[in-house]
Chains A and B, each alone.
Chain A
């Protein structure tokens, strides 16, 4: 047993590589050779993780990934617990339908981070995803529980159809953010367009946002301004075309 399993990208995939076998809890019970033998799909054809990554360490639920994984999809799919730290950007479906643990990306993430598999009712149901960069479209779509934090910009339809859970976006939101929201919170610290089916409720200093941002500042070492922690937020209720129990909280300054 090692302190951590480290995957170093040795061979850059030439096509999209679906590596939904990478999850911290799964590695906790596997030796290095078993990890290298895990199945992946490269350009639609079966391959193994070891053909692309050098594996160091074994049987650990702390996993580090080094290298530019922009072409690699599905990292952290269905993760239940443990810690997955990625030093570089990743492709789509990061933390797809994960239910626990932490994923920390020092780079950008593609579409559908923390989202749901095609056709499934629920996206992530627990755990934390922190992306220190921007995300693609529909990040946090159909999320049921958990926390998704993005320090850069969000794509289109962020938090689309969220059932519950929390999204924190430091950068600017794309169009359609929060559409079809049933419950849950989207905290927008940058520019955000209010969807037509959301209604203004009030402007206040939400204590739960202060707590959350303090936590992100201390635990994740994110750059959170004091004015954001104690500042005023406009609360919009929505999506009124759905259940309408969700909220979009827009920071409007100190």
Chain B
């Protein structure tokens, strides 16, 4: 069918947790790209009786565009050869494009595959300000998803100088200026201070920071100060999404202590801690690993200002892509795989190592279990979002399999038996977690929750005024099968997936903020650019 201006999605079982609708048979009405309360009886109908209707999926944290992702693509020609993505057969709209898949698909393929999964919004989680224009260009070529990005600030030279000088207000204004000039959506911190130390070689020969109170160059600058300054800035600038934090010591045994300390450092303020699974390990460096998921999620459960996404690891191929250069060096050294490490001038770093998580590998199995523990012990699904940190823990194409693990205890226990048990002693998962997510809870962790945490009031729900982003699934006892192939996907009112086939690929919208700040900061930043940057102040950023 062609997409009518009005459409009644009739007779489906609706899950719209934002409005407390949990499996109620009712119609969803669409007019002019938005959801409306009611339509005249004669409006065109899409009969979805017996099917499950949810808002379009919202990915709060994925790596899908920008220079780091592009480095990863260049590093992986073998994946492109193994997974060509032919152009889909579209019925109208812009011409379809072929591309490549693998763990880091090309831009168009990324959009097509997200929509094929019922996702209609995705946030690129780490863009260096210098690469902002590149990221926008790539997101422009990623159809079907509304997208935005988080701009990297936790190791930025100008920012660290302001912290060293005690200029908190100027740091806040700088963040406000940078968000606007790069057309970003939120502030991202990656390994606060650690990347700066890695890049400078460190004063005492250190290659990273190890705790919240390590000095970063000046003794006045510590990871704790960076977290406080940027969390405060995000909240003072009234950004829709709080500061998005990748903690220190990612992927190292015993890092749960650092994670909890970071959370306590920001107590009372809104903050989002990302890919929490990678930050929830007990044990000690050189002396073994264990799960500390219980301690970390307990803190999250008890503190309403804290939100997280899990960053689940799934078995199979992945590509680790992060601004956390020192972590990638560790990963390269331990895996012996090919790698890239990049110094992004005054701003940040970047590292990439292709990786594979194996069921028989003790650490992979632990990571898998820790992620599931976080999900299953979380009390408030609104603050614990489903993610795999695509493509770090797994690609977004593994979300359906992850949903099955959450919804089907028998299946989960079966899989648990097949993995390496060496490091699982003491994990709650091994003790047997009975919880099974309901469809309503899945709708929260994949759509309503992330939309709310991102401050996207027009996403993640089906009330009047929401964007007409709707996904319709045919129920199946095998939840992986059900979520892997939605029957219908509607994006901005257009039926993009019909009977399981991608039919249309309209461009997505850009999500960006333009906060108010004291413009006096620009004068100082300009002076800094004249002294240190390779780019002229006038040419910086990504304003149209």
| Same complex origin of A and B | yes
Number of A-B residue pairs with CB-CB distance less than 8 Å in the complex they form: 17
Determine if B337 and A118 form an interchain contact, defined as CB atoms under 8 angstroms apart.
Answer: no
Determine if B337 and A119 form an interchain contact, defined as CB atoms under 8 angstroms apart.
Answer: no
Residues of B within 8 A of A117 (CB): 77-78, 81-82
**Main SS of chain B's interface residues?**
helix
Determine if B337 and A121 form an interchain contact, defined as CB atoms under 8 angstroms apart.
Answer: yes
**Main SS of chain A's interface residues?**
loop
- The distance in angstroms between the C-alpha atoms of A116 and B77, with both chains bound, is 11
Q: Kindly identify, within residues 460 to 487 of chain B, every residue whose CB is under 8 Å from any CB belonging to chain A.
A: none
Interface string of B520-544 (1 = CB under 8 A from A): 0000000000000000000000000
Q: How many residues of B contact A (CB 8 A)?
A: 9
Q: How many residues of A contact B (CB 8 A)?
A: 6
Q: Kindly identify, within residues 78 to 136 of chain A, every residue whose CB is under 8 Å from any CB belonging to chain B.
A: 116-121
Q: B75 within 8 Å of A by Cβ?
A: yes
- The distance in angstroms between the C-alpha atoms of A120 and B77, with both chains bound, is 8
Q: B76 within 8 Å of A by Cβ?
A: yes
- The distance in angstroms between the C-alpha atoms of A160 and B55, with both chains bound, is 53
Interface string of B76-109 (1 = CB under 8 A from A): 1111011000000000000000000000000000
Q: Which residue of A lies closest to B81 (CB)?
A: A117
Distance in Å: Cβ of A184 to nearest Cβ of chain B: 16
Distance in Å: Cβ of B523 to nearest Cβ of chain A: 47
Q: Which residue of B lies closest to A117 (CB)?
A: B78
Distance in Å: Cβ of A51 to nearest Cβ of chain B: 20
Q: Which residue of A lies closest to B336 (CB)?
A: A121
Residues of A within 8 A of B82 (CB): 117
Q: Which residue of A lies closest to B74 (CB)?
A: A119
- The distance in angstroms between the C-alpha atoms of A239 and B338, with both chains bound, is 18
Residues of B within 8 A of A121 (CB): 337-338
Residues of A within 8 A of B337 (CB): 121
Residues of B within 8 A of A120 (CB): 78
- The distance in angstroms between the C-alpha atoms of A125 and B77, with both chains bound, is 19
Distance in Å: Cβ of A85 to nearest Cβ of chain B: 26
Q: Which residue of B lies closest to A77 (CB)?
A: B81
- The distance in angstroms between the C-alpha atoms of A80 and B79, with both chains bound, is 20
- The distance in angstroms between the C-alpha atoms of A118 and B77, with both chains bound, is 6
Interface string of B40-76 (1 = CB under 8 A from A): 0000000000000000000000000000000000011
- The distance in angstroms between the C-alpha atoms of A119 and B319, with both chains bound, is 14
6 smallest CB-CB distances across A and B, nearest first, come from A120-B78, A119-B77, A119-B78, A118-B77, A117-B78, A117-B81
Interface residues of A (CB under 8 A from B): 116-121
Could you list 11 further interchain pairs (A-B, Cβ under 8 angstroms) beyond the known A119-B78, A119-B338?
A: A116-B78, A117-B78, A117-B81, A118-B77, A118-B78, A118-B81, A119-B76, A119-B77, A119-B79, A120-B78, A121-B338
The 11 listed contacts between A and B (C-beta, < 8 Å) are: A117-B77, A117-B78, A117-B82, A118-B77, A118-B78, A119-B75, A119-B77, A119-B78, A119-B79, A119-B338, A121-B338
